[in-house]
Structure 1
Amino acid sequence: MKTNDPILVIEDEEDIRQMICEILEEDGYPTVQASDGNEGLQILRKTPEIRIVVTDLLMPEKEGIAMISELRKDFPWIRIVAISGGGISIPENYLNRAKAVGADATLCKPFESGELLSIIDDLNR
């Protein structure tokens, strides 16, 4: 069942952020965008209806692992999807750390739109 609650997408690369939002919006999910973890946290504090966050792990300002830790502490009910292309490391290393600190699901970039939607649909149940 779809919800009208917006999904927060936190990604520093604008083209990737736009692509994720388009995938979600085409499937009926409203989105809110942030370019880094600090902006994402500000939005969350002002938008209590957000229930799902899709966050990149490697970002300037507040990176994803710290972001997930803070979300778990301040917003324990929020479902978190961590995404990473890995930067100079193997993406699975970051994604495993994200799971360890509280991400509900992980996705390795690049990913198919169906993979993202399947995870979002599961988290929305």
Structure 2
Amino acid sequence: MTNILIVDDDADFSEALQDSLSMLLSHYQFITCGKSSQVFDLIYSLPASLVITDMIMPDVEGIEIITRLKQEMPDIPIIAMSGGGRVGGVTILSWRMR
């Protein structure tokens, strides 16, 4: 079975995303990671075909996860998302990678 890893510190959102996606993608297995500092332990222990990560988290920011994944595992597709928040005293309302 193909794995999709969801990285988000908001457990309720992760569960809602997993529930929604699993209705559309029933042949995928979803793994959630609530502590972004543990994402690399998970990614190395299981094969993931896709990583969906929040951009703003308290322990490791999504951009750090993306940068490291692109260096170490450049073929894994990544979807970055954010509901907004505060980073370094700056309020971020929305962000989109082009």
What TM-score comes out, normalization by structure 1 length?
0.68
Q: Deviations over 1:89-119 (max 9, x none)?
A: 1312xx33xx5xxxxxxxxxxxxxxxxxxxx
Amino acid at match of 1:52: L
Question: Cα offset for 1:70?
Answer: 0.5
Number of residues paired by the alignment?
Answer: 91
Match of 2:88 in 1: none
Separation in structure 2 between the aligned mates of residue 36 and residue 64 of structure 1, nearest angstrom: 11
Match of 1:50 in 2: 48
Q: Deviations over 1:20-65 (max 9, x none)?
A: 1111222212101101322111100101x21100000000111101
Residue 89 in structure 1 maps to residue 92 in structure 2? yes
Unpaired segments of 5 or more residues in structure 1? 100-125
Separation in structure 2 between the aligned mates of residue 36 and residue 77 of structure 1, nearest angstrom: 23
Q: Higher strand fraction: Structure 1 or Structure 2? A: 2
Higher relative CO (CA 8 A, sep ≥ 6), structure 1 or 2? Answer: 2
Aligned sequence identity (%): 26
Question: Cα offset for 1:71?
Answer: 0.6
Residues 36 and 63 of structure 1 are in contact (CA less than 8 Å); yes or no, is this contact kept in structure 2?
no
Match of 2:6 in 1: 9
Separation in structure 1 between the aligned mates of residue 16 and residue 39 of structure 2, nearest angstrom: 18
Separation in structure 1 between the aligned mates of residue 45 and residue 80 of structure 2, nearest angstrom: 22
Q: Give the superposed CA RMSD.
A: 1.3
